[in-house]
Amino acid sequence: MSDRALQDRVIRALADAPYRASPEWRRQELADPERLERYARFLARHFYHERIAHFFKYSRALARVTGRRPDAVLKRPAFETLLPTAVLGSRETARAVARLVVEHVASAEPAVPIPYLRDLLRYEEAMMVAEAGPRVWREDTMEQGVGGGEWDVPVTVEGTVLLELAYDLPTVLPKLLQSWTEPPTAPRKATKLLVARSRHGRVAVARGDEAVAAVVKLADGKRTLAELARSAGLEVATLEETLKGLTELGAVRFSTGS
Amino acid sequence: MATLMIGAFYNPHLGAELARATGIDHLAMADPPAPSDPYWPKVRERYTLLLHDYLGQLSEPLDGRAIERARALAALYRTPWVAEHFQCLHTEDGTYNLNYVLPPLYTEEFLARFVANANALKARLDQPLVMENIPGFFDVKASQLSEPTWLRRFFEATGTGFLLDLPHVWLEAHYQGMKPERWLAEFPLEHVVELHVAGVEEDEDLKGLWIAPAEPSVEMLDFLAHAVAHCPQAKAVTFDAFSPSLTSDVLFRSVERIRAVL
C-alpha cells in the first residue's frame, strides 16, 4: 500500500466514527486510539461549528430576538449522542446536525414574532445539507464515474432541493446581516428557491419558476431532452435555456444515459 | 537581519478598526475579501498583504484552476510571498475532508510528492513560495522521518521559504514533554521567512492545550524572541488569529506585545 493510501486511512479514521470503531481500522494499530479519538471529536465539533456559523448566519443574526444561538447545539447532549455515528461531510450527518439546530431555534418563543422563521430555518437547513457529500478537489478527477458517449441526458444532481416557501426570503436575508433594532420583515409571497451545489462544493441559490420545478423533478438521467420537454410541457428552446441555468448552478448535470 | 514587519491577519469583522489602525505593518489574508466589504479598498491601499489562503494540498499537484486562483490572489494582494501548508487533509477521491489541519506522513514518498508539487507551483508563481509547518496531535506509526528532518530535506530540495508557526512547535514540544527551545533547534531555521505566533488554550475535546485566537502568553512571546534570534532571514512576524470571535482589543494588544519583545 502506498503512503498516500495509508494517509487516506488516517483521514477516514478521523472523519468516519463507525470506521474508527471498526476492527478493520483498529487492527492496523496505526495510532494511539485514545489520542486519535480526542482529535476526531475536536475535528467534528470544529467541522460543524464552521458549517453552522456559515449556513445558519441569519438565524444567528436573529439570536438576540429568539434567544437561540444556532451553534449552542454543539455543546448539548444531543450532539454528543451523534458523535459515535458521525461521518464528517456526509449528507446524513449534515442532515442530523442541521436538524438539531432547526429544532433548537424553532423552539424559541421570541418577544417579537418572526413569521418567516420557519421558512428561514428550512432554507438554512437545505443549504447545509446540500453542501455535504464528496466533492471534486482537482479538475482531472471531474469525469470519474462518467463513461464515454454522448452527453445528452440531463439528471438532477443529488442534494439539489427546490424549496417552496410562504415568504419572499431573498428580500430579507441581506437586511438580517445589517444593523437593525426591530427584526426586518419579509413579504408574504409564495416563493420557490432552488438550492444546489457545484462539484467543487460551492452552494448556490436561485429563484425558481414552474419550468425549473418541472425540470428538477423530471430530470432522472433517463429522459432525453425531447422526452423531458414533452413531460414538462416545455418548448425545447425554453427547456434548453432552463437547463443552461441549472447546469451553471450545479443543479443538473448531463450523463451518458447508460 | 533586516527590519521585521509585525502584523496580523485581516479579520473582516474588524475591518473598520484595521482600516484606520497604526502600528501594524502587514495583514495576512486567509480568505479573499468579500465583494461587499466596505473596508477592503482602504485595507488594500494601506497595508502590505500576505497571501495565506488555502490554495490546495501539495500531496497532489494543484490543477490549473487552483494555480490561476493563486496567481489572481497574489496579484490582487501584491503579496511579497505566497504561503501554503504542509498538510494532507482530504482523501484523494474527495470522499473525506477534515476541514482542519493534519500533517502528512513524514515519509520518503510524501517528501517526493511535496517536493515535486511545490516545485511545480513555485514555477507558476511570480512570487516566492513559503510553506508552513502543521502540528500533529498524535503520531502515526508509518512515519519514517522526524518532522524537522523531513522539513529540512524539503526546503533544501525546493528552495522555498519556511513559514515557522511557533505555537505549532511549542505544542509539539509540550506534548512530547520537551523544552520548546530544544525542539525548535532541530528545525531548519535558516530557511525561515515569516513566523506565526498566537495563544494556546485548553480544549475540552483534546483534554489539553491547542491553538486559539487568544493573546500569546509571556512564555510564548519569550519563545518568539528566542526563535527570531535564530532565524537570520526572517522578514515578518504575524499574530496568527483569524476568527469571528477575535476582538480588536486582543488583536491590537497582541501586535503591540509582539513588537515590544522584538
Of the pLDDT bands very low, low, confident and very high (cuts 50, 70, 90), residue A253 is confident
B95 touches chain A (CB under 8 A): yes
Using the CB atoms, write b or e for B158-171: b if 16+ within 10 Å: bebbbbbbbbbbbb
Report the gap between the CA of B233 and the closest CA in chain A (Å): 33
d(CA A183, CA A103): 21
pTM, full prediction: 0.89
A11, pLDDT greater than 70: yes
Return the number of other C-beta atoms located less than 10 Å from residue A38's C-beta: 19
| Binary contact (B88, A139; C-beta < 8 A) | no
Percent of chain B with pLDDT over 90: 93
Rg (CA), chain A: 21
B250, pLDDT greater than 90: yes
Of the pLDDT bands very low, low, confident and very high (cuts 50, 70, 90), residue A149 is very low
B171-175: average pLDDT: 95
A206-212: average pLDDT: 86
Predicted confidence at residue A198, as pLDDT, reads 83
B-chain CB neighbours of A139 within 8 Å are 63-65
Predicted confidence at residue A141, as pLDDT, reads 47
Q: In the predicted model, what is the mean pLDDT of chain A?
A: 89
Report the gap between the CA of A97 and the closest CA in chain B (Å): 16
B120, pLDDT greater than 50: yes
B191-195: average pLDDT: 98
Highest-pLDDT range among A80-84, A146-150, B53-57:
A80-84
ipTM for the predicted complex: 0.93
pLDDT tens digits, one per residue of B1-55? 668 999 999 999 999 999 999 999 999 999 999 988 999 999 999 999 999 999 9
DSSP B67: H
A81 touches chain B (CB under 8 A): no
| Binary contact (A11, B60; C-beta < 8 A) | no
A255, pLDDT greater than 80: no
Predicted confidence at residue A79, as pLDDT, reads 97
A-chain CB neighbours of B207 within 8 Å are 38
Find all residues with CB under 8 Å of B84, minimum gap 6, and list them: B55, B56, B58, B118, B121, B129, B130, B131, B132
Predicted confidence at residue A256, as pLDDT, reads 55
**Measuring CA to CA, which residue among B98, B100, B197, B186 is closest to residue B150?**
B186
B35 touches chain A (CB under 8 A): no
B96 touches chain A (CB under 8 A): yes
A257, pLDDT greater than 60: no
**Cβ atoms of residues B143 and B107 within 8 Å:** yes
B116, pLDDT greater than 80: yes
d(CA A38, CA A40): 5
Handedness of CA B173, B177, B182, B188 (dihedral sign): negative
For B95, which of A3, A47, A134 is closest by C-beta distance?
A134
Tell me the helix, strand and coil percentages in chain A, rounded to 5. 55, 15, 30
d(CA B255, CA B209): 22
B169, pLDDT greater than 90: yes
Predicted confidence at residue A144, as pLDDT, reads 37
Phi-psi domain of B207 (left: phi exceeds 0; alpha: psi -120 through 50; beta: other): left
**Cβ atoms of residues B118 and A41 within 8 Å:** no
Report the gap between the CA of B262 and the closest CA in chain A (Å): 33
**Measuring CA to CA, which residue among B36, B124, B45 is closest to residue B77?**
B45
Predicted confidence at residue B1, as pLDDT, reads 60
B-chain CB neighbours of A136 within 8 Å are 94
A135 touches chain B (CB under 8 A): yes
A-chain CB neighbours of B202 within 8 Å are none
Q: How far apart are the first and last CA of chain A?
A: 33
* DSSP notation for B175-204: HHT--HHHHHTTS-GGGEEEEEE-EEEEET
For A141, which of B94, B100, B244 is closest by C-beta distance?
B94
A-chain CB neighbours of B95 within 8 Å are 12, 89, 134
B94-112: average pLDDT: 94
For B138, which of A15, A35, A137 is closest by C-beta distance?
A35
Predicted confidence at residue A258, as pLDDT, reads 41
Type of residue found at A91: R
A-chain CB neighbours of B142 within 8 Å are 3, 6, 30
